[in-house]
Amino acid sequence: MKLTGRFAPSPTGVLHLGNLRTALASWLSARSAGGRWLIRMEDVDGPRCHRDLGEAQLRDLSRLGLESDEPVLWQSDRSDLYHEALATLHRAGWLYPCVCTRKDLQLLASAPHSEDGLRPYPGRCRDRAWEGFNRALRTRLPEGPVSWEDLVLGPQADDPEALTGDPLLFRRDGCFAYHLAVVVDDGAQGVSEVVRGADLRPVTATQIRIQESLGLQRPTYAHLGMVAAPDGGRLGKRAGASGLEALAARGIAVPELLGWLGWSLGCIDRPESCRPEDLLVHFDWTRVPAGEVRAPEGWA
Ligand code: GLU
C-alpha cells in the first residue's frame, strides 16, 4: 500500500516555523517513500478559524514548494461525514449527552493536572439517558492503555482515561470537536502516516481509541519536537513573528529557510540554502532529533 501523509493545519493564524517544519517533514516522508501527500484545513473550531487565514497558509506552503496531491479538504464542508460518525458511535452505544459546564468541570476536578495541563473528564454524565443529537456529546472509550511506536519518540504508552477521559465530540454550540474530525478525516482520506507537533502526543491515545470505536485503521504517528523561540520561549505566542512573510521582511529567503528546516530535521549537516527536492534523498526518520529545537537568533 502506498504511504499517504498529510499536513493538517488549523487556519487560526500564520504558519510559524514549527508548523512549517511539520509540513516539510510530512512532505519529505511521503515523497521519499513514493507516497501521496495531502493538505487538510482543520477549520471545525468555528469562531477561531478563518478561510482567508487558511488561504494564506496554502500560499505559504506553495511558496515552499509543498503542494497537495489532491484538492485541499476543508473540514467545515464535511459536517455530514462527522454526523454519520456520531450516528455510528451512538448505534454502538458509546455516546452520551454531557451537561457539564466549564465551571462544573473546574469545581469537580479531583485529578491533578497532568504534565501538559490536560484535565481528564471525570465521567459525571456517563449514565445520563440519551436525549438526541442536539446536545453536547461525549464518547466512552474502550478501556485500557494504548501503545504505539512513534517514528520520532520511539515506543509510547498512555492511558486515555488518565489523560483526557471521555472526550467531547460534539459541542453544545453545534461544532464538531477536533478529536472527531481528525480521526474521521484521516480514515476517510486513507492517511497512513500522521506527522504533527509533540504538543498533540498526549491526545494520541484518545484518538486511537476513537478510531477503534469507528473501526478505522490506525496510522503510524510521528510527533516532532517543538520549535522554540531563540530565547527558549513558546513560538506559538508570537506566531506571526516567524511566519514566511516576517522572515522575508528580515531578508530570510525561502531557500535559506528550507535549509534550516532540513538541517533541523537531520537531513543535512549544515543549514545551507536548498529546495525541498534536494532534501528527499537525505530524509530518514531515524535521523530526526526528538527534542525541542530553537529558532535561529533573529528569526522569531
Ligand atoms: N489541526 C491540528 C493543529 O493545527 C493538527 C492536527 C493533526 O495534525 O493531527 O494543531
pLDDT tens digits for 192-241? 999 999 999 999 999 999 999 999 999 999 999 999 999 998 887 666 77
Residues 178 and 86 in one domain: yes
Which pLDDT score, from 0 to 100, does residue 2 have? 93
Residues 101 and 178 in one domain: yes
Residues 34 and 101 in one domain: no
Residues 102 and 121 in one domain: yes
Which pLDDT score, from 0 to 100, does residue 83 have? 97
Residues 66 and 90 in one domain: no
Residues 176 and 93 in one domain: yes
What is the distance in A from the centroid of ligand 1 to the CA of 34? 23
- Measured from the Cα of 186, ligand 1's closest atom is 9
Site to probe by mutation for ligand 1, drawn from 50, 182, 203, 216 as the one with most ligand atoms within 8 Å of Cβ, is 182
Please check whether residue 27 lies inside any domain of the structure. yes
The enclosing domain of 102 has a CATH number of: 3.40.50.620
Which pLDDT score, from 0 to 100, does residue 117 have? 52
Residues 84 and 177 in one domain: yes
Query: DSSP E strands: which ranges in 10-132?
Result: 36-41, 73-74, 95-97
Which pLDDT score, from 0 to 100, does residue 238 have? 65
Residues having CB closer than 6 A to ligand 1 are: 8-10, 42, 182, 194, 196, 200
CA distance 232 to 240: 17
**Along the 300 residues of the chain, how does pLDDT read in single tens digits?**
899 999 999 999 999 999 999 999 999 999 999 999 999 999 997 788 999 999 999 999 999 999 999 999 999 999 999 999 999 999 999 999 999 988 877 766 544 444 445 589 999 999 999 999 999 999 999 999 999 999 999 999 999 999 999 999 999 989 999 999 999 999 999 999 999 999 999 999 999 999 999 999 999 999 999 999 999 988 876 667 789 999 999 999 999 999 999 999 999 999 999 999 999 999 999 999 999 999 999 998
What is the distance in A from the centroid of ligand 1 to the CA of 6? 10
CA distance 98 to 105: 11
Q: Ligand 1: which residue has its CA nearest to atom 6?
A: 8
Q: How many domains does the chain have?
A: 2
- Residue 56's closest CA among 6, 19, 5? 19
Contact 199, 227 (CB under 8 A): no
Please check whether residue 218 lies inside any domain of the structure. no
β 137-139/168-170 pair status: antiparallel
Which pLDDT score, from 0 to 100, does residue 114 have? 47
CA distance 131 to 234: 42
Site to probe by mutation for ligand 1, drawn from 7, 27, 178, 220 as the one with most ligand atoms within 8 Å of Cβ, is 178
- Measured from the Cα of 199, ligand 1's closest atom is 10
Residues 178 and 239 in one domain: no
Residues 64 and 95 in one domain: no
Please check whether residue 28 lies inside any domain of the structure. yes
CA angle 148–149–153, rounded 5-degree value: 115
Residues 131 and 169 in one domain: yes
Q: Which of 122, 156, 182 is the last residue of a domain?
A: 182
- Measured from the Cα of 22, ligand 1's closest atom is 8
Residues 92 and 146 in one domain: yes
Contact 10, 16 (CB under 8 A): no
Half-sphere exposure of 282 (CA within 13 A, CB side): 19
- Measured from the Cα of 196, ligand 1's closest atom is 8
Which pLDDT score, from 0 to 100, does residue 93 have? 97
Q: Which of 123, 155, 182 is the last residue of a domain?
A: 182
Which pLDDT score, from 0 to 100, does residue 241 have? 79
Please check whether residue 209 lies inside any domain of the structure. no
- Measured from the Cα of 9, ligand 1's closest atom is 4
Please check whether residue 187 lies inside any domain of the structure. no
Which pLDDT score, from 0 to 100, does residue 136 have? 97
- Kindly list the distances between the CA atom of residue 297 and the CA atoms of 135, 221, 230, 247, 265, in Å, as whole numbers in the listed order: 49, 31, 5, 12, 18
- pTM listed for this prediction: 0.95
Residues 150 and 170 in one domain: yes
pLDDT tens digits for 35-74? 999 999 999 977 889 999 999 999 999 999 999 999 999 9
Q: Which of 182, 205, 237 is the last residue of a domain?
A: 182
What is the distance in A from the centroid of ligand 1 to the CA of 183? 11
Domain that holds residue 134: 78-182
Please check whether residue 61 lies inside any domain of the structure. yes
CA distance 124 to 98: 8
